[in-house]
Structure 1
């Protein structure tokens, strides 16, 4: 069970420098603008959970509120910042880069910002990737395009080498934009910096298109991703409706968590079946997927299946190989479904026309939509506030409409996934009218 100690953010020392933001807001050093050091956000969200702990108020598990402080740790005139983007692409990466640069330059007066290229590889001298100098002018319009102007890569690098490079480059603030694997790397980097006593603040902006990092609310880019996926589902339905025995299959991202599949299906109410990694299903048998699909097509003339890439792996042949991030290479559940559905209908002597959509790279490479763009900007601003005040080994997130600072170790100790007994999955079942369980 989580405790208050689990949620304590590490600081490099006592902030003593008056914040430049006082001048920016007209000298109003008021509690309305600054976040107090005793401002905490409750971990539990119901009275019953709070009561069940039986703890005094000041011992309840709480998150540190994110935001600007009236005192900062780093002197802007002598501070250099570094930014890196790691892992797969996600809508909003450029928005975060842009917002960090503008917040540092325009509001804190930090005018020395480096962008390390191609993920953590950009901090390994042998790779020969010179960092980019980032200025408000150079990043002014990058949010209008997808991807990341810094480039990215998967896989870890030697922590000692990375920290050596940060020291050699004179970096004081290091912003890591990446998923759970990247955050584990950031944690190791922060711990090594603390061990060396070199005063480098390491702050993460967690990025995962699958929305599978816990305790941060919703990850940036997720809304854009499921919105685009919903468009593919609509197209699949149009195709299926126009064909004799039409079946549309849409495979979306989600190695271990089915959030994109769930949200995109609910968004348009066009899916008949949603398959996610968290809910096992059988293909054969009276209560398996194929039998239910056959009945649905017989009733309506068509059907649409939305499947997360990590669903149904027990039915796929896998090589046992891993990718550079250490993730198991998945079997292609989308192709398997297409072939099994064709064979099943053919074996029944019934017509079927399967339309297969795999929009994964189209989804993750697009620019962020306006709502995600706002979220990216605010996360970036909160990250800069945290770093300038001397916070380290932490990520920024949002809990119940409040931005919070969370220790990296706490967001990487377990994955975030769809609960088969939760209200989101119930909403999917209500939207699709699919059976609660498809097991033979």
Structure 2
């Protein structure tokens, strides 16, 4: 069993990344570590060269661990394997803290991220209490889906506003966010705002779209934007306030797995191994209605899973925060 360093880069000879033999002794304690043992990378690689490497190494099963980008790469590798008529199974294991892989109830890493994010939200609430008219603003990961922000806020139930990519909002106007925030401060003299990194992108005035090496749109920094706009608005209207801005994004992503996530990861791995050894390929191990499933990779990457704004999760958030159902002006 070999570990490929730094994602798909490790299958490209020019990068000269180390190939690791995953012995029992080497992996004995990796469940106690945070982050990624093998490393990761972004950017598309040449599929034919990756399959060349697999063929030279005489690999018969390739396990690809990651989110939708990793799964798209896995499917491309499978197609090249099929074209060559090789006997190599390709198995996907869902690992993303954003929990945004479609048709999968939850992915490995999500619960650990929510647990740590909940602690940070609780501490931010304590900070908000420490100054008059204090706004504690916490930015969490969630590029296209706000599951971490929503779930962590429900775990603590101290957030007064949860802003997610699925729910657009206005800054100004009688129903805008800033008006609602000031109303909250006038009543309680403190507020806690949790914002997912992909929220409010429609508020930025930009003509160009930047993308990272994997082709994902690089979002503007909504956390810094909101911090500055809150300060600008309240200062202009002589409204006394304090802002505490907290961005723990990479801390949340790199924590060791909690007990439930560790168990879940083991079960994903066992099911993936059994399916691949049985000859299944081009699949991702899923989890739905508390059962493990095998899903064709193309089905899971057609679209991102998002919060259903008319579903139970979001309505629970609205009840817990007391924020307006809509912060859009007519």
Report the TM-score range of the alignment, normalised by the length of the smaller protein: over 0.9
> Which of residues 354, 365, 375 in structure 1 aligns to 2:243?
354
Task: Say yes or no: does 1:276 pair with 2:276.
Answer: no
Structure 1 distance, partners of 2:282, 2:105, is 19
> Which of residues 106, 119, 126 in structure 2 aligns to 1:231?
119
Partner of 1:152 in structure 2?
A: 40
Following superposition, the deviation at residue 316 of structure 1 comes to: 2.6
> Which of residues 35, 40, 49 in structure 2 aligns to 1:161?
49
Give matches, 1:87-166, under 5 Å: 113-166=1-54
Structure 2 distance, partners of 1:296, 1:311, is 21
Give matches, 1:35-434, under 5 Å: 113-317=1-205, 320-434=209-323
Structure 1 distance, partners of 2:303, 2:227, is 33
In terms of mean alpha carbon deviation, does 322-331 or 248-257 score higher? Answer: 322-331
Following superposition, the deviation at residue 320 of structure 1 comes to: 2.2
SS of equivalent residue, structure 2 residue 91: strand
**Greater than 3 Å deviation, 4+ residue runs:** none
Contact 1:317 1:331 in 2 (8 A): no
Following superposition, the deviation at residue 303 of structure 1 comes to: 0.5
SS of equivalent residue, structure 1 residue 392: coil
SS of equivalent residue, structure 2 residue 193: strand
Structure 1 distance, partners of 2:205, 2:61, is 45
Following superposition, the deviation at residue 167 of structure 1 comes to: 0.4
TM-score, normalization by structure 1: 0.73
Contact 1:225 1:260 in 2 (8 A): yes
SS of equivalent residue, structure 2 residue 299: helix
Following superposition, the deviation at residue 397 of structure 1 comes to: 1.3
SS of equivalent residue, structure 1 residue 218: coil
Structure 2 distance, partners of 1:116, 1:317, is 41
Q: Which entry has the higher C-alpha Rg, 1 or 2?
A: 1
| CA displacement, residues 97-139 of structure 1 (integer Å, 9 cap, x when unaligned) | xxxxxxxxxxxxxxxx111111100000111113101111110
| CA displacement, residues 180-219 of structure 1 (integer Å, 9 cap, x when unaligned) | 0110110011111122111000000011111000112101
Structure 1 distance, partners of 2:80, 2:261, is 33
Contact 1:277 1:310 in 2 (8 A): yes
Rate the CA distance shift 1:150–1:281 in 2: closer, same or farther, 3 A: same
Structure 2 distance, partners of 1:316, 1:228, is 29
Structure 1 distance, partners of 2:42, 2:205, is 24
SS of equivalent residue, structure 2 residue 293: strand
Following superposition, the deviation at residue 317 of structure 1 comes to: 4.9
Contact 1:163 1:193 in 2 (8 A): yes
| CA displacement, residues 293-328 of structure 1 (integer Å, 9 cap, x when unaligned) | 000011111001000000001223555221111111
State the aligned residue count: 328
Contact 1:282 1:288 in 2 (8 A): yes
Unpaired runs of 5+ residues, structure 1, are: 1-112
Structure 2 distance, partners of 1:381, 1:420, is 34
SS of equivalent residue, structure 2 residue 294: strand
| CA displacement, residues 332-374 of structure 1 (integer Å, 9 cap, x when unaligned) | 1111111111122112212110000101000001100001000
